[in-house]
A and B are shown apart, each in its own frame.
Chain A
Amino acid sequence: MTDLAAELRDIERKLFEIPDEKVAQLTLLIERSRAVVLSAAMADAALGALRPRLVKTRPPRHLTLQRIFCHPFEDLLILPEDNEKQFGRIARSSLAPCWDFVLQCLDQAAVKELEASLRQSPAPALGTEADPRIPRFGATLWSIAARCLREQTSRADTDPAYRAELVAKLGGETVLLDLVDMMGMLELAGPLEELRTQLSPKPVGKLLDEQIEAIRDAYVALCGSGAGLPGYMIAFTAARMTNPFQLLPVFDTLNDLPTGIAGLTPGQYVRRMISGDSKRFFKTIGRSDPAKMDDGNIAGMVDDFVRMIGRLKADGMADGPQPEMDAAGAKLRQMVRAGMLDGADSKIAAALAAPAEGSAGGQASYDAKVEAENRIYAIQKVARVAGEIGAEKDVGDALKSLAQQAEQRGAALIADIKAGKLNAQGREAAKQQVYGAVRLLELVGGANAASRLMRDGLAAVEKMPG
């Protein structure tokens, strides 16, 4: 372990030693100081550092009207890869201008009254799953904000001059489209809150039968009620899931119901959401810097990519994001070559040449071995799916070459032991080197080759003098 890794581990350990109450106080302090003492970036960084602990402790967060306003559509928030509007998603950067605009539209006295009530309302206890103040204050805020936004956006729809003014005020066309989506979600806030309990905690993994039933029932009821644009419930549902492909059979059976967008069925709505998310994922890959990623992350990204394209192809949706997909595949191929395969030989060699644990240079030996193992595991992981990114031959050749090297080095080690070159180090040290060589050969060449090496190596050690 490097010094930095040890330090980080130490910080992480200390973070978990702080009592829950202190974490809650610290969180509230940072959040309240956000606008006053700390910069937003600094407050976010501080909260980021606390995040692993926050997940476990769940302290009550500093609740503001803005946070309540965002609650119905918070699942839709994303960090976009470009300035293009993504269907069914809202850019995080749109929050501030849209909230400012909403605040201007609302009755200022009512806002002040709401803020005062919020300040006086006690925070929930530590570890509470959901803050009950959100739906309580939200019921008022969401409906008045939705009404006011509906007026403004309707006017923009019919008055091009006002629309241009609004775009300028908000800071761009995409922000206006995000504002429209916020409004759509606010209009459905009530039914969405009911569905949220069924689709919690987030992210929702494999859908349970009861959850499928709840989604269907909620959507049918929403369409029957005539409130808002029902498609936003689909966006909400998809955004809470790790695998939204599961929603295709659910909403395909509801295709005779409306979404609020002419010509777009519920099933198509899900597909557009997935298509947008996959495009963004592919763009993220394109912007990744292999120099800043470790082997495991690259392998994980390849794995995610292959899963994603597998699902897209299976559902006949691969045509939409094809250019982005191809670009991402090419980028991953390059990342695997440059980030994982290049230099793998030298890493393995370094691990094999490293002195035994506990001897001088033990830490360097340990680091070299860990690094070599991580790389081998990453290559093995990519090897399973390398064909999907056109790197099958590269990865296969690399593994073959690594196995040959490991085998040759193992044979050389046995020869050295037999020739008495390790006599000075003693049996234990020689045995340790055999084990090291066996381990690496097992990882790259499999158990059979490693088994032979272990048998021959230990037999050679047994014959060493003393």
Chain B
Amino acid sequence: MNFPKGAGQQFQPARFEERGTAVAFTTPALSQARIRKDDRDNLELTVSAFSGVKGNYVIRWKDVPEIFSLTMHDRALQEAILKHGSCLPPDVRRATLETAKTGLAGPESQRSAQEALAEEEEELLLTRFFLFRQALEKMAAGAMTMKMAEFTAPGSRERIKSALGEIAQRFGTSANELYNRLERWGEVLAPLGLGGMPKECRLRRMVTGMSELADNIGAWAETDKSEAAGLARAISRIAYFSAEFARDLIAAALRPADYPDRVLANWEKALPNIQKDVERLWWTVDGWEFIVLLWRDAEDRDRDAQREAVTEIYRILPIIPEKEAANRPNAQGMQENSRMQVRALEGWNTGALDSEMVRRVESVKRRRV
């Protein structure tokens, strides 16, 4: 499929914030629609035009339940996000998991959300431990080591703080403050984890999933003779580009962990920089989980279903906005994209929800990368 060069580009978002965050709605017409803030800091929803033309509708977030026939899960999700007032990817994800935990998207999504939240806790603990251990080893020139059991044992907090006393003096701060800084740093890095950890944390798993998708859908394109092959190649290229972009951000966010003394000594300046890299990473992988799962699901289905999945993925593909990737080679090529709403997701004359399509969206929601 060929689109004229530059088609639709004038309406492409320039920044992540303008692109918004994908929302895991189960109402098919809104699946992966994006939330962002308008110039007066109010939440709004951008949703693909339904007639197949290029462009999006922009709807005030608070009006969404009035305009669309939403599932109960989506009504609760819309309220949860509205209550929180944030459209940052980690906040939207948290609201999504908390809503799924109610069971309004079914028991399987409920369990999956509970497991995801428990997994996050585990990843936070692991990342903190690895960061503490790495930082202490480096700052004490190998004189201090730590084991997981010591980190989680009762009273460990006080023991570690007392061990930090001498190092804290070097930074002109207290052991308490140094402990808090390390704890906060660990919290910021928890979604990506540290090298050498026994498991990959969520954002890294996402990046791995994106690379696998790039390979698999690219290989699929070589076996397909339909127009979907062209779309699949574009998806593969964009997934590959985004995964590489994300890997660089991971490397940038983790690099300071090799020099903990510098970070802890310049805490007020260093932390925002790390946060910025992690935040950009969140934006970069946002929307890809649904896509990776959608394709994994389609891989076991027939060719027509796979073509349909490719078309759907192409419609919701999260392109890295122009200004975010301005310095990267091939960034321009990644912007060449068009949005098409290819299939009807609700009865066109009734607006009633198609339960089978809701089921399909929910079935993707049940799983995690």
Contact = CB atoms under 8 A, between A and B. Distances in A.
Given A377-B359, A447-B69, A451-B72, A369 B107 contact: yes
B302 A203 contact: yes
Given A439-B72, A447-B70, A201 B303 contact: yes
A357 B114 contact: yes
Q: Which 10 A-B pairs have the closest CB atoms?
A: A205-B304, A369-B107, A205-B303, A435-B102, A442-B72, A380-B355, A435-B103, A450-B72, A370-B107, A208-B226
A437 B307 CA distance: 37
Contact of B72 (A210, A211, A447): A447
A443 B353 CA distance: 11
B75 A451 contact: yes
A436 B302 contact: no
A203 B103 CA distance: 38
Given A380-B355, A381-B356, A358 B300 contact: no
A129 B223 CA distance: 9
8 contacts: A201-B303, A208-B225, A369-B103, A370-B107, A442-B72, A447-B71, A447-B72, A447-B353
Interface residues of B: mostly helix, strand, loop or mixed? helix
B111 A357 contact: yes
B369 interface: no
Interface residues of B, number: 28
Given A381-B356, A447-B71, A357 B103 contact: yes
B107 A442 contact: no
Nearest to B216: A56
B254 interface: no
Interface string B97-129: 000001110111011001000000000000000
A63 B69 CA distance: 56
Contact of A439 (B106, B114, B226): B106
A436 B225 contact: no
Contacts of A454: 72, 75-76
Interface of A: 52, 55-56, 129, 198, 200-201, 203-206, 208, 210-211, 242, 357-358, 366, 369-370, 373, 377, 380-381, 431-432, 435-436, 438-439, 442-443, 447, 450-451, 454
Given A200-B223, A370-B106, 16 more contacts: A203-B303, A204-B303, A205-B302, A205-B303, A242-B302, A358-B114, A377-B355, A431-B102, A432-B102, A432-B103, A438-B104, A442-B71, A442-B104, A443-B355, A447-B353, A454-B76
B303 A435 contact: no
A443 B106 CA distance: 10
Contacts of B70: 447
A251 B82 CA distance: 58
Contacts of A451: 72, 75
A366 B111 contact: yes
Contacts of B359: 377
Interface in B347-369: 353, 355-356, 359
Contacts of B304: 205-206, 242
Give the most central of B71, B72, B107, B223: most A CB within 10 Å: B107
Contacts of B106: 369-370, 373, 439
A307 to B, nearest CB: 13
